[in-house]
Chain A
Amino acid sequence: MATEQLYNQTIIEEYVLTEEPYYLPLADEIEIFEAAYHQRVPVLLKGPTGTGKTRFVEHMSWRLGEELTVAKPSAKVDTSANGRAESMPLVTVACHEDLTASDLIGRYLLDRDGTRWQDGPLTRAVKSGGICYLDEVVEARKDTTVIIHPLTDHRRTLTIDKLGLVIDAAEGFLLVVSYNPGYQNAVKDLKHSTRQRFVALEFDFPDEEHEATIIAHEADCDEESAGLLAALGGKIRNLREHGLEEGASTRVLIYAAKLINEGISPRRACQVAVTWGITDDAQVQRSIDEVVSSIFP
């Protein structure tokens, strides 16, 4: 590119992580994912928000990339100039309710000379052979699930009807989707025909000890605060389905820890980062505040 690079931009399928994303395994999810990847079995990550689904995918893409780098240096995954390991390409698409199939596959664009085909992120991932991560896949419009199906079974193909093409997925391609089952009977749910194309990994909040470790690492804060925050998280989650739609995620606890690191008083930090974030109900806020003030001196 001729122009001076003013900001860090990467072509989507070349987006790789150069540092190992921190991830603390809670069970055998890493082995499972690796096994699934080796067999190219698509993976479904279930769990409430802020339980580390996205981080896990990042971690896995880095980990698998490293594996490739080390085991098969000749593989298509680059080894960057300084020889440091890099991740597999990771294409992340956050799904929303207006996300249509063409947003994933690609569409014709107008330009000076007429029209030009532009691949969508999924297509590019399929072609380049990285991990395509569809976050909160249930949010997407129903027509998107249709294009997912042939990619997730033995065919591993992507049909682009506007071009009249069928693309075979590249060797390294793997589709990973996540969704938050939230409530057991929520109307928004994955169809069985869709969900039975994945191996499912359940994510839930880590136990107090692990969570404390995660908080301490992520926010780079002292053990004590991390421990207390983890305890707080556990307490707040007891209110799930009894006033709270979802408990406090590890993420908000990390935010609180970060604020505490900056010298904000712990009670206040928890209030702004945790309490106010997770609910608008004054009574629930008050009772969470009470727990905060019980835990934090």
Chain B
Amino acid sequence: MTQYNEQTMMNIRTELGSFPSPVQSNFDRARDALTGRLADDKLDDWAQLGLLISKRTVRSWEAGAELFNASPMVQRQLPAGQFISWVKIGDQLCTASPSLAVAYFRASPGAIQRLRPRYISDWAQSCRALYRGTWKSSALACKLFEATPKLLESLSFDELRRFAEFLEEVSHRSYDMAGDALETGGELFPKLGRDAGAFIGLSNTVAKNSWRHVQPMFDAAQHSLVEMPREQRSSFISLVNRLSTKEGVDPSRVMRDGARAIGGVGHEWRDTLIDLTHRIAAEGSAEASSAFLTTGPRVLERVTFPQLIEWHSRGMQVMVEKESAAEAYFKNESVLSHEVLDALSSSVELDRVREIIRMYCRMLAGQEIEVQAAQQLVDKNIGWFQGELPTTEGTTIYLPKVINRHPSKDRNFAFYKVISTHQTGHIEFGSFRFSFERPSTMFTDLRSQLNSANGSALEAVPSEIEEKPQAETTSSTNGAVEKEGQDEHASIPMSRFFDLFPDRKLGNDVFTIFESTRVDSKVMDAYRGLAVSFKSVQDDALSSRPDITELPAREALVEFMIRISLGQSTDLVAPKRHMEVARKLRRLVRLMQREDALVEDAAEATIRACAWLTEVRNEELNEDEFEDLDDDEEEDEQEGDGEEEQDLQGLIQAFIESMQPGEGTGEDQESAEDSEDMEDGEDQDYSSPQEIDYRGEFKPELSQLLSQAQMQMMEGGEFADDDMGEMTPLTQEQLQEMMKNSADIDIQEGQDGEEMSPELAEMLENLLKEMQRRDPQAQSQPSGPMQHVDEEGGPLTPTSPDQHVYDEWDFRANEYRPRWCMVHEKEMSSGDVSFYRDTLVERASLLTMIKKQFELVMPEMYRKQKRLEDGEELDFDPMLEAVIDLRVGSTPDEKIYWRRNKTERSVAVAFLLDMSASTAEAIEEAKRPNDDWGAPDDPVEYMVWLRSRRTEGLRKSYKRIVDVEKEGVVLLINALETLGDDYGIYGFSGYGRENVEFYVIKDLDEKFTDEIPRRIDRIAPLHATRMGPSIRHATQKLANQDSRSRFLFLISDGRPQDRGYSREGVEKEYAVHDTRMALMEARREGIVPFCLTVDKQGHDYLKVMMDDFNYEVLPDVSLLPQRLLMLYKRLTT
């Protein structure tokens, strides 16, 4: 180093001394490092530049410090000339902003390792481009500088530059967003590997087209792109890129859906899937292609990939014709799409065939049967857990959502048919009508004997067991009963039966086999047309059974029974040691296939089978310990009842023994030599056999519990004599007790059964609710008296035009109370339109059907009208009659013309909807008895009471009666618009005589506008039901109409009631009679009233109220919309 240089350096150093200390110290270190590695003049330049930079502005000393800090490392990587340019670039940056220079210098050592020297300037430029003189922009630029070393690990410089361009683009909109993108990019690019460039390209596109989507897209990329298989990634990115250039496409959604779609298909189809999407995009519709990606996976649930291609190509044809149609198609929202899919797919969806199956089952069972997806029952959480298996709880058949077992639709549907027939079979052939006392036809009844024997386990077995014991009520001295500590009648027969078994699980499994066998064979017998499908389903089931020889002994025997029950008759193996038991079991199973078998026979068979099975140790067996069972059916048959009779004594004995505490799986009582034989075999805990898919879940106890209510109702007297008759509703405790024992519910409880697990507790609660819902007694509470209030005060006077005063009929005084009620007419406020839309979508099929029917009414409007005094032409018959009359000499009728009359249909109808508080009842919820009538007298309290009831109703997510009313109204409106009738829709409620609220949802003269659906939304349960004044007011409205026929539809959920809508001693009748009088007044005006009610108790008071008016009581609330329309059509045509 020359002297001169030395001097210069010293000067510079001194000058640098005026800055904070790091500058000078960094300079010192750098100079030491550089001296000798850099020519003097260059070193000089470097030092000069450094000083210059440091002096540029107030804060630029920081840049200087960084420069000096970075210099040694940078110099090592750069030729001298470029090293100086590097410093100069820094200087330029510093002129713009010292912080840029700081970031630049700081990032340089790392960056330059991966950057060609000639790109340094470009790099700085790219970063600098982000800087626009603001603090935020400088922060962003700095961030980019800082990130560069890391970014360059996964990006080429060119990519980096494009990324910077992208950031710049975004930064025009939001620096924050750009900053986030930069950060996310840093994490993302390494994961994307060589596709990072493509992704940056995409980012640029998105930033240019729809910058708002940048952020979500980056977020989406972090999951979707990263997880996507590498092979498809680049082509997928280019697809997203392509779509992102289009208007209205959300790249993040495309990315997510696309990734899901691609991830969902087999790897061999992934490229094809992207290609298919590309093809849609090529035709120009971005919406359609992104829809395709979204819909794809769902479509693939139903069809195979080649079929998807087919579906796609049909869509492409649609595209050629009309782009918007293609969008709907690829969203799978068009009819064509559904049709194509339907034709392609071999799977059958429950939703599509539900109605058919429902009617089918209904016809078979002869009672109301619902069909639902099995998942719904599981969701209720009342003891069923398998969403994929068919089952029933006595009133509803639950089926899997979709069947895709076979390559053809027909066979899949046949499977549906088989499983629903089997489930219906349980209902049709009385599985749930099991009675503890009803004697079986094939066996000596052991149930009652065991019942008493259990109580006194060690008491001698009754000696005359051949005598069929009569259905004696087990005495209350019975130990078992006392032990359980509950009223025996509170238990259901099925539970009483299972109580007999020491091992409930085994009992339940065996009973299930017997009962299903019985039902199967009954079904096959009654429905021979189904036999082929049924047999093939059984064969399928058989082929998927586990190998008997791999099961421990007891389970092997159970499996053995299942196989027989499924119709296997050859190659049956059973444990050698238990051949005799196997043979006896086979006989029992076959007995179940006899025509006269009853559910009680299945029960008796279960007792026997379980007695034998408990004696079999559940030990692991070697394959050679099994052997074929000889196929000696003949002999089986002959064995007959004789053998059984001898056996009975032993059976009961065995059973009683197994009831003793401490008795496990045959430890003590079994003969000593047996135990010796079995030293090798470890006893296994018994576990239930693998379920049979077509038979599904069978839960006799729960089902009987749930269906008992209905059965009582349906069968009336039959069960009154039986043990069902005295059933009282179970309390939670009793239910709990029952469920704890029940093998239907397989929940692990707390250790000693004292503590209920929360799951079980919740389930119990649900179950209890479900039962209440079903209990007809609870639903049809006798309407108690509304608290009587003798109303004081006289006639009312309206004070504003929307108030109307009406008389009220006092049937005891036999005269009107003048101006007694004040009706406040209000326009319903507007709500949301979505209820209307949703209903139309949900009930689309019903609506089309109804519209079709209503359209059929139209031609009748042009019917020939005969016997007119004036018309188009002479009507031949009356004309002839007139001529004859003239000849005979009597006065002829002048009505001898006919004409086609267009205006013949002239109907005005007013619908009056009950908006009383009780319509808040969920239709699936029990009505609590007498709750309605616990209404307090005091107006204030009454309001509080009502409000509490209301909120109760609102809280429930269930469908309420009022919702069904609303649905009905929506459909009605649509249908009525078809007909062109004049119609008005009104809601009524109120509280007290001076406060009858009358809500106008659509007035008679009003045209249908968008406002109406909004008003419908607002229909909600309010207060009480004072029908009379509302009817009078509606009558008034109708009376002003000049239509030929006028109708008044009253839709209510119960008897009229309101505070003071009564007179002492005759509470209910007062309201009923006033309503009746109001209806008569309507009729006097020439209006036809009709009352539709969902109150099952309705018949009694309606008979009085409606006497010779027309009315209908709906058995099921949910039928309301449908029925309403049918009735309307019937009444008005």
Other-chain contact of B363, A107, A109, A239, A283 (Cβ < 8 Å):
A239
Given contacts A243-B359, A287-B359, A290-B360, contact A185 B1111 (CB under 8 A): yes
Is the C-beta of A184 less than 8 angstroms from some C-beta in chain B?
yes
A242 to B363, CA, bound (A): 10
- Residue interface bits A99-110, CB-to-B below 8 A is 1, else 0: 000100001111
A74 to B127, CA, bound (A): 129
A273 to B415, CA, bound (A): 27
A186 to B1131, CA, bound (A): 8
Is the C-beta of A288 less than 8 angstroms from some C-beta in chain B?
yes
Given contacts A110-B880, A110-B884, contact A294 B530 (CB under 8 A): yes
Other-chain contact of A115, B357, B417, B887, B1112 (Cβ < 8 Å):
B887
| B327 nearest CB across to chain A (Å) | 29
Contact count band on A: 35 or more
Contact A187 B527 (CB under 8 A): no
Contact B356 A290 (CB under 8 A): yes
A144-152, A230-238, A250-258 - interface stretch: A230-238
Contact A291 B528 (CB under 8 A): no
Is the C-beta of A26 less than 8 angstroms from some C-beta in chain B?
no
Given the complex, which residues of A lie within 8 Å of B526, measured CB to CB? 231, 295
B215-223, B364-372, B795-803 - interface stretch: B364-372
A288 to B362, CA, bound (A): 11
Contact B529 A292 (CB under 8 A): yes
* CB nearest to B527 among chain A residues: A294
Given the complex, which residues of B lie within 8 Å of A239, measured CB to CB? 359, 362-363
Is the C-beta of B376 less than 8 angstroms from some C-beta in chain A?
no
| A154 nearest CB across to chain B (Å) | 26
Contact A283 B364 (CB under 8 A): no
Given the complex, which residues of B lie within 8 Å of A291, measured CB to CB? 360, 363-364
* CB nearest to B1111 among chain A residues: A185
A192 to B1107, CA, bound (A): 12
Contact B529 A242 (CB under 8 A): no
- Residue interface bits B872-911, CB-to-A below 8 A is 1, else 0: 0000000011011101101000000000000000000000
* CB nearest to B523 among chain A residues: A294
Given the complex, which residues of A lie within 8 Å of B1112, measured CB to CB? 184-185
Given contacts A108-B884, A114-B887, contact A267 B529 (CB under 8 A): yes
Contact A187 B363 (CB under 8 A): no
- Residue interface bits A238-252, CB-to-B below 8 A is 1, else 0: 110011000000000
Given the complex, which residues of B lie within 8 Å of A55, measured CB to CB? none
Contact A294 B884 (CB under 8 A): no
The B contact surface, by secondary structure, is helix
A284 to B360, CA, bound (A): 9
Is the C-beta of A195 less than 8 angstroms from some C-beta in chain B?
no
Contact A109 B884 (CB under 8 A): yes
Is the C-beta of B421 less than 8 angstroms from some C-beta in chain A?
yes
Is the C-beta of B1084 less than 8 angstroms from some C-beta in chain A?
no
Contact B363 A288 (CB under 8 A): yes
* CB nearest to A191 among chain B residues: B1108
Is the C-beta of A38 less than 8 angstroms from some C-beta in chain B?
no
Other-chain contact of B1110, A185, A295, A296, A297 (Cβ < 8 Å):
A185
Given the complex, which residues of A lie within 8 Å of B417, measured CB to CB? 290, 294
Is the C-beta of B487 less than 8 angstroms from some C-beta in chain A?
no
Is the C-beta of B355 less than 8 angstroms from some C-beta in chain A?
yes
Other-chain contact of A186, B421, B880, B890, B1130 (Cβ < 8 Å):
B1130
Is the C-beta of B531 less than 8 angstroms from some C-beta in chain A?
yes
Is the C-beta of A18 less than 8 angstroms from some C-beta in chain B?
no
Contact B364 A286 (CB under 8 A): no
| B104 nearest CB across to chain A (Å) | 76
Is the C-beta of A194 less than 8 angstroms from some C-beta in chain B?
no
| A36 nearest CB across to chain B (Å) | 27
A115 to B888, CA, bound (A): 7
Is the C-beta of A84 less than 8 angstroms from some C-beta in chain B?
no
Given the complex, which residues of A lie within 8 Å of B355, measured CB to CB? 283, 287
- Residue interface bits B344-363, CB-to-A below 8 A is 1, else 0: 00000000000111111011
* 26 A-B pairs in the complex with CB atoms less than 8 angstroms apart: A107-B881, A110-B883, A110-B887, A162-B890, A183-B1130, A185-B1112, A187-B1131, A231-B526, A235-B364, A238-B363, A238-B365, A239-B359, A239-B362, A283-B355, A284-B359, A287-B360, A288-B363, A291-B363, A291-B364, A294-B417, A294-B421, A294-B530, A295-B529, A296-B528, A297-B529, A297-B532
Q: Can you list the 5 inter-chain pairs with the closest CB atoms, starting with the nearest? A: A287-B359, A294-B527, A235-B363, A108-B884, A294-B530
Given A115-B887, A192-B1108, 15 new contacts (CB under 8 A): A108-B884, A108-B887, A110-B884, A185-B1110, A187-B1110, A238-B367, A239-B359, A286-B356, A287-B357, A287-B358, A287-B360, A287-B363, A290-B360, A291-B360, A291-B364
Interface residues of A (CB under 8 A from B): 102, 107-110, 114-115, 162, 183-187, 192, 228, 231, 234-236, 238-239, 242-243, 267, 281, 283-284, 286-288, 290-297
